[in-house]
């Protein structure tokens, strides 16, 4: 029996800085690379085309889940490995993925993700192993329609199998990148909740923010990650408050009369 084929699939926008280093970790062993761009203004496209002719665009943004669904339609391989441009496949992870392909062991596989934040790999704060479902047979399933924090749908009767080998995640370039990214996710979260008729209050935001810090820094031993663990816990609490505050503003305030 020949080894099953696999595609590395990415959805991107303005990832010129990250895309090349990411694809370097898979170019030698995947059968195809599929990239769906949502409207880059940098040289993401030219970099992508150095690695693949399966580069597509879709700037009709309907959320992360829908964009992943569109990207998956361009895959012809037996299996899919989902990557973000700021991630890197380690040799151990590659070896374990290839063992799955060699035996064509059907199922959904979760991968441990190790994040580099502000000069340090974060191994506590509840951030590691941060398992994400990224490997599965193309015809088995796909992502849901969520605007943000999209998830792979798990078919009835299927279990998620833990895979060994870290996926390195270089998530934030600097503090401004963190704040910009977290503000965008907070906006998407609030919009999604608002569409479902949900409301919030500032007291809810304060409570969830305090709970977030206590959980990350104390219960999840963020203090063992040094200054970065403290900073990340504070910033996560701030992001938590902001998303509830955003929803409160949307649901309880109105513009002044003309």
Both 11 and 137 in one domain: the answer is yes
Both 56 and 152 in one domain: the answer is yes
Tell me how many domains the chain contains: 2
The model's confidence at residue 67, banded by pLDDT at 50, 70 and 90, is very high
Q: 171-225, pLDDT tens digit by residue? A: 999 999 999 999 999 999 999 999 999 999 999 999 999 999 999 999 999 999 9
Q: Which residue has the tokens 């994040």?
A: 115
Both 37 and 162 in one domain: the answer is yes
pLDDT at 254 over 90: no
Both 151 and 202 in one domain: the answer is no
Please indicate, yes or no, if residue 86 is contained in any of the structural domains: yes
The model's confidence at residue 1, banded by pLDDT at 50, 70 and 90, is low
Both 145 and 123 in one domain: the answer is yes
Both 166 and 182 in one domain: the answer is no
Give every strand in the sheet of 120-122, ordered side by side.
Answer: 87-89, 167-170, 113-117, 120-122
Both 30 and 119 in one domain: the answer is yes
Percent share of the chain, pLDDT over 70: 99
**pLDDT recorded at residue 118:** 96
> The domain spanning residue 76 has which CATH number?
3.90.550.10
More reliable by pLDDT, 61 or 2:
61
- C-alpha span between 69 and 141 (Å, rounded): 10
Both 110 and 199 in one domain: the answer is no
Instruction: Write down which residue in 142, 170, 198 finishes a domain.
Output: 170
Please indicate, yes or no, if residue 17 is contained in any of the structural domains: yes
Instruction: Write down which residue in 147, 170, 193 finishes a domain.
Output: 170
Quote the domain boundaries for residue 86. 6-170
3-state secondary structure the chain: CCCCCEEEEEEECCCHHHHHHHHHCCCCCCCEEEEEECCCCCCHHHHHHCCCCCEEECCCCCCHHHHHHHHHCCCCCCEEEECCCCEEECHHHHHHHHHHHHHCCCCEEEECEEEEECCEEECCCCCCCCCEEEEEECCCCCECCCCCCCCECCCCCCCEEECCCCEEEECCCCHHHHHHHHHHHHHHHHHHHHHCCCCCCHHHHHHHHHHHHHHHHHHCCHHHHHHHHHHHHHHHHHHHHHHHHHHHHHHHCCCCCC
Please indicate, yes or no, if residue 204 is contained in any of the structural domains: yes
Both 54 and 111 in one domain: the answer is yes
Percent share of the chain, pLDDT over 90: 94
pLDDT at 17 over 70: yes
Average pLDDT over residues 41-59: 98
Give every strand in the sheet of 108-111, ordered side by side.
Answer: 55-57, 32-37, 6-12, 79-82, 132-137, 108-111, 160-162
Please indicate, yes or no, if residue 44 is contained in any of the structural domains: yes
pLDDT at 258 over 70: no
**pLDDT recorded at residue 253:** 72
b/e string for 154-170 if b means 16 or more Cβ within 10 A? eeeeeeeeebeebbbbb
Average pLDDT over residues 222-250: 97
Q: 120-177, pLDDT tens digit by residue? A: 999 999 999 999 999 999 999 999 999 988 999 999 999 999 999 999 999 999 999 9
The model's confidence at residue 2, banded by pLDDT at 50, 70 and 90, is confident
Task: Find how far residue 193's CA is from the centre of its chain.
Answer: 20
Average pLDDT, the chain: 96
Instruction: Write down which residue in 170, 190, 223 finishes a domain.
Output: 170
pLDDT at 29 over 90: yes
Please indicate, yes or no, if residue 235 is contained in any of the structural domains: yes
Could you tell me the two tokens for 70?
A: 């569109």
- C-alpha span between 105 and 182 (Å, rounded): 37
The model's confidence at residue 257, banded by pLDDT at 50, 70 and 90, is confident
Please indicate, yes or no, if residue 257 is contained in any of the structural domains: no
Both 165 and 211 in one domain: the answer is no
Both 12 and 49 in one domain: the answer is yes
Please indicate, yes or no, if residue 1 is contained in any of the structural domains: no
Please indicate, yes or no, if residue 58 is contained in any of the structural domains: yes
**pLDDT recorded at residue 256:** 72
Both 229 and 121 in one domain: the answer is no
């Amino acid at each position: 029996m020949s080894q099953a084929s696999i595609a590395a699939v990415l959805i991107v926008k303005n990832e010129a800085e990250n895309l090349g280093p990411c694809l370097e970790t898979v170019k030698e062993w995947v059968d195809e690379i599929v990239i769906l761009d949502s409207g880059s203004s940098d040289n993401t496209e030219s970099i992508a085309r150095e690695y693949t002719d399966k580069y597509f665009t879709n700037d009709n943004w309907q959320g992360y889940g829908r964009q992943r669904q569109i990207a998956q339609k361009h895959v012809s391989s037996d299996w899919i490995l989902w990557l973000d441009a700021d991630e890197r496949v380690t040799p151990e992870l590659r070896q374990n993925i290839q063992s799955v392909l060699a035996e064509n062991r059907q199922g959904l596989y979760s991968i441990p993700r190790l994040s580099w934040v502000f000069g340090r790999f974060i191994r506590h704060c509840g951030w590691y192993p941060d398992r994400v479902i990224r490997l599965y047979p193309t015809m088995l399933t796909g992502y849901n329609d969520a605007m943000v924090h999209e998830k792979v749908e798990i078919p009835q009767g299927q279990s998620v199998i833990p895979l060994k080998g870290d996926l390195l995640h270089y998530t934030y370039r600097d503090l401004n990148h963190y704040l910009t990214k977290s503000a965008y996710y907070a906006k998407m979260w609030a919009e999604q909740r608002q569409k479902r008729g949900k409301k919030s209050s500032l007291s809810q935001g304060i409570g969830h923010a305090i709970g977030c810090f206590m959980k990350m820094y104390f219960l999840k031993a963020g203090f063992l990650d040094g200054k970065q663990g403290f900073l990340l816990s504070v910033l996560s609490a701030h992001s938590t408050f902001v998303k509830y505050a955003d929803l409160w503003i949307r649901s309880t305030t109105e513009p002044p009369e003309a």
